[in-house]
A and B are shown apart, each in its own frame.
Chain A
Amino acid sequence: MTGLFIQLMSKQILNNSNFIIIPAFNETTVIKTVVEELILAGYSIVIVDDGSEENLLAQVLVFTNTYYIRHAVNLGQGAALQTGIEFALQKKAKYLVTFDADGQHSAADIPALLLPIQNNEADITLASRFLRPGHHNASCSRQLLLKTARWINYLFTGLYLSDAHNGLRAMNRVAAEKIALKENRMAHATEFLFAIKKNKLRFQEVPATVTYTVYSKSKGQSIFNSIRIFFDLVLHKLFE
């Protein structure tokens, strides 16, 4: 018991300047499990509730080192991430991690993402489910969609990544201060790449698992959404 406590405490001291930013919209059913896993690893958590119908406050404030921010209206995941990043910077976060609320990521992948940044080899690391085989259970249509997204990202940013739209990323303060997401909706994933390119940030891709559950699939991106992302990107370029 004492051993466990000490282990937990040491993790706390090691990890509590690492902020995990979780944008959440109507994630009432899974958010608690997701946060629980991260809390056990000792991270500080920033939950950005993007105007969910049901206030998530009561669900998450039972945890330690947890901050809860609520948008009065639903703005989109990009906007929620930006709010979370700004808040974590205010709280003097050393490293910032973005993490999806639907349970598709695993807390166990975070140390690997942080490592290159802590070793000062990268400013930002992007999780990829395709770097190693067997790190995802995406359907064929989904893989095709992600491959297309990868090319579209390449066209827009000149960066060719193995995984175009993975919500798991880690960055240091230098990178976080440079990120200014203007796309409120899903096109923000490409905006991270714009920021990398524009500010010449050092980046690495790190293998990470993505587990699609029935739940996360129901919350995920459809083909129509992808078309919308594409148009958002075109318009972003036009009106930049």
Chain B
Amino acid sequence: MNGIKILLITGVVFIAVYFFVRLRNSLFDLILLLLLVGAAVVFILFPEITNQLAHNLGVGRGADLVFYTSIIIFWYVILKFYARLRKLEQTITAIVRKNALEQAETSKITRDDS
């Protein structure tokens, strides 16, 4: 095992532990996490597998295949985050609006409100 493999596996394990601590409530997330970590470790230990996969898919190198898939996954993650951000913004708007409407001020010189 060479240096880069140790470095990558340590990284993956650290991320896995961190997510495990935060996501332990959901079984589905846990299984997904284990699968991803498992795949990552296998690919790090045996990079030839990615080469083989890449050749089957018509991509030159395994590293390129990993790069392309990462881009797609990152796009997905960004959109997910954006959707959540919008939702958060709508929640804040609702709270601020409710608060503003409750505290609306009326001018002192006003007509008799019918």
Contact = CB atoms under 8 A, between A and B. Distances in A.
A233 B34 CA distance: 38
Contacts of B105: 57, 61, 67-69
Contacts of B90: 182
Contact of A65 (B92, B100, B110): B110
A62 B101 CA distance: 20
Interface in B98-114: 99-101, 103-111
Interface stretch (A82-90, A119-127, A139-147, A196-204): A82-90
A224 B108 CA distance: 42
Secondary structure at the B interface, as helix, strand, loop or mixed, is helix
Interface size class of B (residues with CB under 8 A): 20 to 34
Given A79-B97, A86-B97, A182-B90, A68 B104 contact: yes
Interface in B71-107: 82-83, 86, 89-90, 92-93, 96-97, 99-101, 103-107
A133 B14 CA distance: 68
A16 interface: yes
Contact of B106 (A67, A71, A83, A90): A67
Contact of B111 (A16, A57, A79, A184): A16
Interface string B26-39: 00000000000000
Contact of B93 (A12, A48, A184, A239): A184
Contacts of A64: 107, 109-111
Contacts of A71: 96-97, 100
Contacts of A68: 104-107
21 contacts: A16-B111, A57-B105, A60-B107, A61-B107, A62-B107, A62-B109, A64-B107, A68-B104, A68-B105, A69-B104, A70-B103, A71-B100, A73-B92, A75-B92, A79-B96, A83-B100, A83-B101, A87-B101, A182-B90, A235-B86, A239-B83
